Amino acid sequence: MMTIVFVRGAEYNFEELLEGPSLPHAEFCFPHGDVLIKIQNFEPNCVFVDFKLHQDILSRHSSYFRDLLENPTKEATPHSKDSSILKANIVFGSGPHDFSFLCGIMYPHPSMAGIPLRVEPGKAHMMNSIVHAASQFRMHAMQIYIVSNLAMNEAAITAEPALFLEWITNLTGLEESNRQALISRCRRAFVFRRSPPSLRDSRRLPVEIHKIMLVREHVRNLFIEYGTLRSWVPARLEACQDLFIGALGASMTELSFDQSKSIFDPLSFNNLCGCCRAPELLRPVKETLILAADGAFDELNKGEDEKPVCTLTPNDAVDNMV
- Strand stretches in the chain, DSSP E: 2-6, 22-29, 35-40, 48-53, 76-78, 85-88
pLDDT at 186: 96
Q: Structure pTM?
A: 0.83
Contacts of 90 (CB under 8 A, 6+ apart): 6, 64, 75, 136
pLDDT at 312: 47
Rounded distance between C-alpha atoms, residue 81 and residue 90, angstroms: 21
CA 125 to chain centroid, in Å, comes to 8
Amino acid at 35: V
pLDDT (tens digit per residue) in 117-126: 888 888 999 9
Beta strand 85-88 with 2-6: parallel, antiparallel or unpaired? parallel
pLDDT at 26: 95
Contact 266, 255 (CB under 8 A): no
How many CB atoms are located within 10 Å of the residue 64 CB? Answer: 18
Burial of 289 per CB tally in 10 Å (0-12, 13-18, 19+): buried
The residues of the chain scoring below 70 in pLDDT are 114, 268-269, 303-322
Angle CA 170–175–180, to nearest 5: 70
Which residues are paired to 85 by β-bridges? 3
